[in-house]
Structure formats: C-alpha cells, structure tokens
Structure 1
C-alpha cells in the first residue's frame, strides 16, 4: 500500500470511512467480475431534485476515495426504476390529465406531459442525465425497462421464482393483515391494459418460469412469463434482484429506507449473493422542515441553486455532514459559498491527512483550485444591499478600489461571485430588508463611530477598523457587544445579521460609511431610499 493510501486510511473523512469498507471487502482478492460496482437509484415518478444529485455526488466521492486505497477498477451505475407503475400524478408537472389517464402504467409507457420525449420516464431520465453531466460525473446510465425487456435480469428473476416462498416469508411479517393476504413479489404487466398490476398470484410454474393471476376486471385467469419484461418485481425484492444480477458492491440510501435495506439484504442473501456495502444518509428538508419530494417539487432545484451560487458551493453542502438532516432552502446558500472558499484557501497549507479530510479534495477529485477570493459572498451581499446594486458593474466599482488589480477580466471567479450576489440580493435580500432608526444609546454610539472613522488614516486595515468599532461599543455601555453590532446592521443594512464591519467598511469606503451613518442620524428612512 502506498504512503498516500496509508495516510488516507487514517482520515476521519466520512468518504474514506466508507471506502475502507470496500477495501476490507476485497482485501484478499478482487471480485471475479474484475471491478467494484457502485450504484445509485432513481425513481423517475417525478422530476429529479437535489436529493437525487446528492446521492450520485456522495457515491462518486466514496468511489474516488476508494481509488486511492485500491487498484481494483470501479464502475458507477445510475439506475432508473422507470418500469415502475405511475401510482399518483405529481404536483409539479403540466398537462396532468395525460398522466391521470395513464395511472398504473410503467413510467416508460406514460405520455410525456412536457411533450419532449416519448414517455414521462424518458423525460425524467433525460433530466437526470443532463444535470449529472453538467457536474461532470463519470457514470453509466441504466434503465430498468431496458434491463427487464432485454433479458438481462431473466436468470435472477427465475431464481426469485424458485426461491419464492423464502423471499415472501421475509416480506410478509412486515405487512398488515390485508396486504399480507394479497402480496406477491411479482407484479404482472397486464397484456390487456399495459398496467402494472398488484394482484395475488394464484399459480407458479418454476420450470416454465410463469405466474398466473386473475384479471381484476374480467376475472379471467392469465398466465405470463416472469422474464422478458412481462413482470416487474415489488421494489424491495427488485432492489435485491438488481444487487444480485448486477453484482452491486456499494449503494447508499436515505435514512427513511433503513428497513428496506435490511429486507433487501436478507433477500439477496437468499438468492445467493452478499449485499452491498453502504450507509444511510439523513434527508434534506424544505423551509418548513418537511422531506423534499419529487412529486411535490418542494425544496430547491438544481437550476435555482445555480442561479445564485456556484456548483462547487452546492457540492460542499452535499458533502458536509451526510448523516445530519439539513434544510435545503435558499437561505443556506451564502454560508455554503463562503465556506467553500475558506476550505480552498486552507488546502495548500495543510498536511496530507488534513487535505484528505478537506471537502475540496473530494469535490475536485484530489486537485482543488488554488484561487483566493479577496471578498466574501456575505460582504458582497451586504454591499449590494447598501448601494442597491442591480448590476454587477456597481459592485465592481467598489471592488477595484478595495482589491488592487482586481477586474472582471483578471478575476473571472470573483466576477461570477459578483453576478451571483446581485441575483441573490435582488430576489432575497432586497425584498426582506426592514430598517429602523437608532435609539438614544445607539445614536450616541454611532456619533462616536463617525468621529472615529473621520480620524482614520487613509489605507487603514479592516482589522484596525473592526477594533475601533468594537471599542466604540464598549465605551458607550453596550454590555453585550452583539447588540451593538446588531444595531448597526438593523439601522444601516436593514437586517438583523451582517458582515464583519471592519472588512465591510474597507470595501464600502470610510467616507461613504460616514455619509451613510449621518443620513441615519438625521432621521432619514433608508428603507424609502
């Protein structure tokens, strides 16, 4: 083992902890298929969301970490369960009547309400692949419909039929009395209607590889093969079947699927294979603390995040604390942006073990950029708020004075950040701003602050300005200096939280800050400006 691998093995990064499971799994010999297979799953009953992206991203990071620990080749399959029946119409699609008429049909047989593809399943598959490609993931897309119909799953489907009683005895104890009486792991595709039927199986023929059921409308006994796409498995059994047929070595899942992972693991053992390694991540929540859903379309979309921040900031948010439930709403974006650049700035000076624990090592495949950002996203947002910036050029007028040699041409990463800041300011900061006038104690302190600012020498560092602002608050009797800074934020910026004032004043300008404070002290309502 290389020295890099030995260092990585001692890393507390969750991705390396997961990768070590696979290294241990194949410590004695490589898998007979010649590679380690990672899988992610997607149910295209609704449009893909950030949770879907997060699973592929996290799996990719484990895969990359494993590549440092082992020479065994790897593959990643992004699997779409597009043969599943459409059970309800999503809230966030047009032409819902098209879908209502196709309920219970396989997703690849449901018309596309967007009118861009042959089916709703194909439309959602295309959306999934588009945003995975946008982020540069290396993966192979697989369609459940194609795998079933091509015969790729046939041998394992026959095995499920052969082990029918053992499989069903794992599932039945988890079901209620009514469901237990009618449950079958095989869901026939009705030859008459094309629907995925949830009906009792009245007869099984292992040699012929067929099952028989009674048509729920006509009552006729119907016999269909379990192979060739004539039947679909219930999803917990389907999951185990897929692990067996594809020989999956690693697949993670949300915390809500812990019981399903346990059941599917039992079933794949019945079929004769070892279940994959993996872990259960916590769910993303919307603004109200509810689980984000493909069918509801709550939470943030990929497109929305990328309107206001970089792909790297999104990747960082996905990387951090995967076992902690996190809100996925617009107000998490600014912090994610600034944390990303903080990690980038730290990386070059870290030892190897620290670098392997640094999220940007994983986000950038071990080769993060070495770009320093002279201004935080938070300060840009506050500057935009003060100068009412509806155009990036307004912010650049201040930036070029603050950072020597900084121009949109010389600093393309900063230029993108400025554009994101303007967009975020216009849509979220500006509508929420609420100014107030200072009380007597605050006004007295702000007068002293003006006096202090006027005495500063040109070019005074932001840290010195910060100390001066701090001292003014102490001298004016603010026992809790947080209240002093909050007063500045609420009266000058129209918000309860804000930037480090020394850095902000350096960027905005001392003279400009004096003018702004004097406007407030004169009783001017900045909210009406």
Structure 2
C-alpha cells in the first residue's frame, strides 16, 4: 500500500491531481469532523440524467484517488435539493393537473403524480437512489428537506440572518434593478398556502432569529428562519450548505462558475472554507452546439446505455473533463473499443502505469478481466454482414472465431453482442448505402475471391489480412486505403470498417466468398 501511495502522490491522471488538493488542504491536520466530505447535488424536479452520472462518477474517481493517498476517512453525500419550490409542471409525467395545483410548494409537499411515494420529491429521490445503486456507486443520500426541518442547518441559517447585509452585498450586484428591489436570500414557506415565496423582507430580528414578510393573503407574518420555515435562494443555499455540511470537495459545470464564486464568498462570510474542486466542460452535439434538453439535441444517457455498457460511458466521463466534447451516437463504438483496450492493457502494466490507466479509475483500482479480442466495431460489422437481429445468430459466428467463448464464461462479450445488434439495427442499418464496384474494383474482388478459395479453413486473421493487402497492391491501388474503402462500400455499405482479416475470420471464409459473389452479380 505504501508503494502505491508513493506512486499516487506522483501520478498525473487528473483524479490524482484533484486529490492532491485535498492532501494539501489537510497536510497539517485532518478535518475536525473526522472525515473528508465529497458532495454532488441533484435537483429532484426531474429524473437523474447524463450530468448526474458524470458528476457522481467523476467525484467518485477523485475520492478513490484520495483514498489511495491518505488514511483520512471519506464520505460522499449525494444531496437532493428537494425543499426547492416546484417552478413548472414537467412534460413527461401523468396527472399534470394534480401537480399543477401544487406549483410553488416544496417538492416534498407536491403529490406524487405516479402514485408510488408520499411526494413528487420522494418519488424522484427514490429514482436517484435506484439510479446510483444500479451503477454501484458508494454514497450517502441526503435530503434538503430533512436537513432544514431537523434543525441541522439552523446554525448556518442563523448565520445568514446575522450576516444578512454582507450576503446581500454579495448577491445584489449580480441582479437586475427590478430583482434587487425585492430580493432576499430567505424564501419563507407560506403558513397559509405552503408555497415557497419570493418576497421582500419587511423586518429582521436577529436576536429572535426571525423574519417578517407579507404572506399571500396580505397578512404580515413573522417566522423563524430555523426548523424548515424558510428555504434559501439556491446560490446562498449552496454556500450555506458548504458551510453547514463542511463540504471539502465538489465539482460543477463550467456554466456554474459565477454561481460557485458567489457560494464561496457566502461560505466565507459564515466562517467556513469553500471546498476544493474544479469545473468541467459541457457536452456538444454533432454540430458543436451546446446540448440542451429543451432542444433535444445530442445524446441522452438512456440512449447511450441502450447501445453500450456503462463502463464505456464512465470512460467517456473520465477522458478530458476540462475539454468540451461532442456527444452523439458515433462516439459510442469508439468509446467501447477504447475501454476494451484500456482494460486489457492495465493487467500487464507496471504499477505506475496502472495508475494512469482509465480502467484503474473506472473500477476503483480493481479492473476486471474481460475478453478484448473481439472489438465492438468488429461486432457491428459482423451484425451488418449477417443482418443479425438476435444475439444467438451472432454467437454462431463467434463460436467459430473463439471456440472457448460462451455467454456464460464471457458475460461482458455477451452483453457487447447484444448492444452491437441493437446499435446496428437502430443506427447503422438505416444509413447503409451500397454501391456497385468499378471495373478495377471488380477485377480485384474477383482475384480476392480466388485467393480466399485457396485458403485453409483454419486460417488466422493475419494471414487473411496479408492476402487482402497483396490483392490491393497487385491491382494498382497505390493508396491501399482506397482499396479497403472500396471493400467497405461495396461489401458492407459504409465508408469505414474493420480490419478485414479479423472480419473475414469472424464472419467465415465461405460466408465472405458468398458476399463477394452476391456483390459481383448485382
């Protein structure tokens, strides 16, 4: 362990760079609370999504990197802002009228339109926990409503009241003139309607710990700022939470940099130290535009996980978090094959190199052994050539290529086959465009057919690849790339494709010859 710790202190992978901030933070003494606290946030007005996964996955990687370097205990809070008032009725729920009647109320006071939980907030919180549990994350769920109502935020809320003018001095310059006139960091929960109100404060009583405001019925009301009677505006809430929980590490999207700076100032006003962390770049669609749920551009997490294993998505999140990355269907096959490459390589690497390998971080230092000799792209091309609709039909080819492989002893390969069939049927098949060979290509294909006729049944991929090369050179393809592109376009109906030797061995010599004859006869 000491050897790994020494290597971790020098490792360059970004989770180690982030973790070293925490090592430096507690170099003189461990935190008074006895543990280092990592936090991620969740807004339960909607379901968990790609950003939720990315934030928890990346934070978990930093947490594990820190655990490799330090003996200080750690905790990860997944904090749900479920006391927030419901601002609008989501489009994707039943019983919208029932929910609309509770607009403005805390999410934990809005009836559950699905009828399965005590509230809409509780329903989405349960979805969050099921989501995180499904990926095997180690975390502790925390509810904003619970923290406010239990009194555990009382000290921090009274601090906001004591330092009200300082907090306002931070917030008001960020607001327009009209908003400045009515702004208060406190959002009282109306005693008459139960709604979270954005109203100006008429009075503040620091000694009594209360505020005075005009309720929706026009009456002047005095409420304590403690015990769940008020909620904070989200930016002051963020800073208050950092102070109240003692958060040591939190990451956030690039678009939240100004909000994080405000939260940090408020945390300091309360006497706390803002957490370490970094801001990650946002995702772009295939045209380079920022992904927006309202626009529906880009790729959702559900779509990714329909076509590829979660490990590939974790790899995508690991790679270059500080760079804007395009997120669309074409990135999935590459991500799967890159994952296979990394997880295969990690087992033979020196200890220092292992710590730089994404597979080490994706699997908390314990990457599994998975079969990596059959790539996802190869499976996609096999599915295309065989027009596969089921895993079973694919396994017929796989067994010939790898006789020792079965769905039982190669479960990851089995899952990849299923993903490949689905991806082919939904994303590749509709875009296939076959073309007829040119005269020169027809002559080369005829020659290739003869070469394949002369190969033994047990020929390996490298020998087949050499024959394909030799045919291309013999027929004047000075740019062999053009020869292979011709094979892809004529035989597979696409502009790019696999290493032909591996593909032919997997698909079968006889099947490949039949495919060539079919295209020559067309």
Equivalent pair of 1:9/1:16 in contact (CA under 8 Å): yes
- Count residues in correspondence: 522
Match of 2:48 in 1: 48
Deviations 1:343-395 (A, max 9, x none): 11101221112100111111111111123323111111111111111121211
SS at match of 1:330: coil
1:61 equivalent in alignment to 2:61: yes
Does the C-alpha gap of structure 1 residues 286 and 225 become closer, same or farther in structure 2, counting only changes over 3 Å? farther
Paired with 2:323 and 2:195, the residues of 1 have a C-alpha distance of: 39
Match of 2:166 in 1: 166
Match of 1:371 in 2: 370
Equivalent residues in 2 for 1:276-425 (5 A)? 276-286=275-285, 289=288, 291-292=290-291, 300-425=299-424
SS at match of 2:142: strand
Equivalent pair of 2:371/2:413 in contact (CA under 8 Å): no
Paired with 1:470 and 1:12, the residues of 2 have a C-alpha distance of: 40
Following superposition, the deviation at residue 292 of structure 1 comes to: 4.8
Does the C-alpha gap of structure 1 residues 107 and 180 become closer, same or farther in structure 2, counting only changes over 3 Å? same
Equivalent residues in 2 for 1:72-471 (5 A)? 72-215=72-215, 217-286=216-285, 289=288, 291-292=290-291, 300-471=299-470
Following superposition, the deviation at residue 315 of structure 1 comes to: 1.7
Deviations 1:86-115 (A, max 9, x none): 112223333333333222211111222222
Shifted more, 409-418 versus 391-400: the winner is 409-418
Following superposition, the deviation at residue 464 of structure 1 comes to: 2.9
Paired with 1:300 and 1:123, the residues of 2 have a C-alpha distance of: 25
Equivalent pair of 2:48/2:131 in contact (CA under 8 Å): no
Paired with 1:171 and 1:484, the residues of 2 have a C-alpha distance of: 64
Equivalent pair of 1:91/1:295 in contact (CA under 8 Å): no
TM-score scaled by length of structure 1 = 0.94
Following superposition, the deviation at residue 300 of structure 1 comes to: 4.8
Residue ranges of structure 2 left out of the alignment (5+ in a row) = none
Residue ranges of structure 1 left out of the alignment (5+ in a row) = 524-529
Equivalent pair of 1:210/1:225 in contact (CA under 8 Å): yes
Does the C-alpha gap of structure 1 residues 512 and 246 become closer, same or farther in structure 2, counting only changes over 3 Å? same
Equivalent pair of 2:435/2:490 in contact (CA under 8 Å): yes
Does the C-alpha gap of structure 1 residues 87 and 499 become closer, same or farther in structure 2, counting only changes over 3 Å? same
Paired with 1:98 and 1:339, the residues of 2 have a C-alpha distance of: 47
Paired with 1:56 and 1:241, the residues of 2 have a C-alpha distance of: 21
CA RMSD of aligned residues (A): 2.0
Shifted more, 108-117 versus 498-507: the winner is 108-117
Equivalent pair of 1:284/1:291 in contact (CA under 8 Å): yes
